[in-house]
Chain A
């Protein structure tokens, strides 16, 4: 009896890992999902290989106001996407900017998910006053227009990488909590939950090991969508001047710094916009593909 209970979770993990792999091979059947996966993998590769791909240093001022495709007058090399108003190479900034976005967005999403899942599990599984209190808190936070909430939080605690993660966690965990709560309400009456309870397992063990893995399908799809949305948020905060402090490249911030010159030098703003849009599109298409596949099973 004891051996079977300790072995079961590991066997379950192996099987679920295999199933996870299988659903990624299933992605081949949905061309929308494939395009999304390609875009996401493309940017992840760019972010990892940034030091090797970027032709120039992203923060050093080389030659201001160069149009795309112009050769550098000193030191050689080509500004494939031009340079900005203080002479930084835009291609290099976009490449290094992908790192910024692909570090902060997953971190913020992960942190929001951790809090949201814990709150959702507690609310759905315990019910009663725990559920009431947590749901009311979620209702109140969700009644703020999101960007107003971000602006107030960033205005009071200041703009920095950590604070952006805190703000995103605060603003999006209630939404995740609601989803998890709904899934738990559906799952908590299943036989395997009752079995675990009869075995005398602790509440948190039941929640995290019995219920959570079975709720993963909709959560993975939601996480993909939310990652896209968090990238939008980071971009918008950068664009409004509330994002990461300069000089390190950040796509939203690049648009903010150069938009006054968009009339004469549209390349300065246009390319960061295309970069951020393709990354978000990648996550959204991936989510759509995954949803399509999960509905088919």
Chain B
């Protein structure tokens, strides 16, 4: 167990270093075009570019630059954002907090909902309820986030006029503005978690100890609640942790659509404005969050599953 934790954490650090190298190669070197041209725009002349390269230390050897860049990163100096004219950390932190709020509410509704639906359909595989839930799940995951955002907003904002159409929070935080973005994310993502829960539940339901419990005359309800659920919910734990990775993709679309001032919209803005320092920092944070949750998922799965824990 301890070995596993060390191994997983080691791999996590290794991944982060490789990712930083990839980002550096892609964004800071001439591999994909002159970074000076990217920052100053295509109409800048050679002299301006040369001056910019000199000022920002781009004429130093590659390895030295990478080492410096990584060192700055590790000590928390993320550089200056060109787009927002300020330190990257100051721009990024409030945005991360906003996305955390959105993510929290999305998960708070999506997880109970998808677990309940998954367990209900996995309880009796092939039943009418099971088929309806899985077809409904396929239906909702087939509508891309931007499409469901359009459909929901034409229904709830323009049609019924229940909810505001933007979530810019211009006049301070308002919970009402959070509902639509969260709804879109929930509708798109719940189907997958429900499907995984269903598979896990269906597998448990065919196992021998459930058959024993049913045959010895325990009430169906207690078979489900006391025996089946405990084992059926181990696999969905991993899926839910990995869902954070998907959520990071989803928030980009949703935040862009509803003009929510979050982390996802920030990544997109950084990329569209060629704000290299900001894009690097955002990408590193996104990968860091993703890798950390994957590591927790792996370790947690091992810890929760007694068959692996005690062997």
- A residues adjacent to B (C-beta < 8 A): 32, 139-140, 143-148, 151-157, 228, 232, 235-236, 239-242, 252, 255, 259, 262-263, 266, 269-270, 273-274, 276-277, 280-281, 284-285, 288
Asked if A145 contacts B246 (CB within 8 A), the reply is yes
Asked if A239 contacts B253 (CB within 8 A), the reply is yes
Asked if A262 contacts B290 (CB within 8 A), the reply is no
Most B Cβ at <10 Å: residue of A143, A156, A255, A284: A143
* Other-chain residue from B26, B248, B290 in contact with A152 (beta carbon distance below 8 A): B26
Q: Which residues of B contact A235 (CB under 8 A)?
A: 144, 146-147
Known: A155-B279, A285-B135. 11 other contacts (CB 8 A): A32-B135, A143-B294, A145-B286, A146-B249, A147-B248, A153-B26, A235-B144, A236-B144, A274-B147, A277-B142, A280-B142
Q: Smallest CB–CB gap between B147 and chain A, Å?
A: 4
- Interface size, chain B (Cβ < 8 Å): 49
Q: Smallest CB–CB gap between B86 and chain A, Å?
A: 21
From known contacts A140-B19, A262-B158, infer whether A288 and B134 are also in contact, taking CB-CB under 8 Å.
Answer: yes
Q: Which residue on chain A has the smallest CB distance to residue B288?
A: A143
Q: Which residues of A contact B143 (CB under 8 A)?
A: 273, 277, 280-281
Bound-complex Cα distance A236 to B33 (A): 25
Q: Which residue on chain B has the smallest CB distance to residue A280?
A: B142
Q: Which of B68-76, B149-157, B225-233 contacts A (4 or more CB under 8 A)?
A: B149-157
Asked if A240 contacts B154 (CB within 8 A), the reply is no
Asked if B32 contacts A236 (CB within 8 A), the reply is no
Q: Which residues of A contact B252 (CB under 8 A)?
A: 147-148, 151, 240
From known contacts A145-B249, A273-B147, A276-B144, infer whether A262 and B23 are also in contact, taking CB-CB under 8 Å.
Answer: no
From known contacts A143-B291, A262-B153, A266-B158, infer whether A151 and B144 are also in contact, taking CB-CB under 8 Å.
Answer: no
Asked if B154 contacts A155 (CB within 8 A), the reply is no
Bound-complex Cα distance A77 to B27 (A): 50
Asked if A284 contacts B272 (CB within 8 A), the reply is no
Q: Which residues of A contact B283 (CB under 8 A)?
A: 148, 152
Q: Is B245 an interface residue (CB 8 A)?
A: yes
Bound-complex Cα distance A276 to B145 (A): 11
Asked if B287 contacts A270 (CB within 8 A), the reply is no
Bound-complex Cα distance A288 to B134 (A): 9
Bound-complex Cα distance A177 to B295 (A): 21
Bound-complex Cα distance A152 to B274 (A): 10
Q: Encode contact with A along B270-281: 1 for CB under 8 Å, 0 otherwise.
A: 011010000100
Asked if A281 contacts B139 (CB within 8 A), the reply is yes
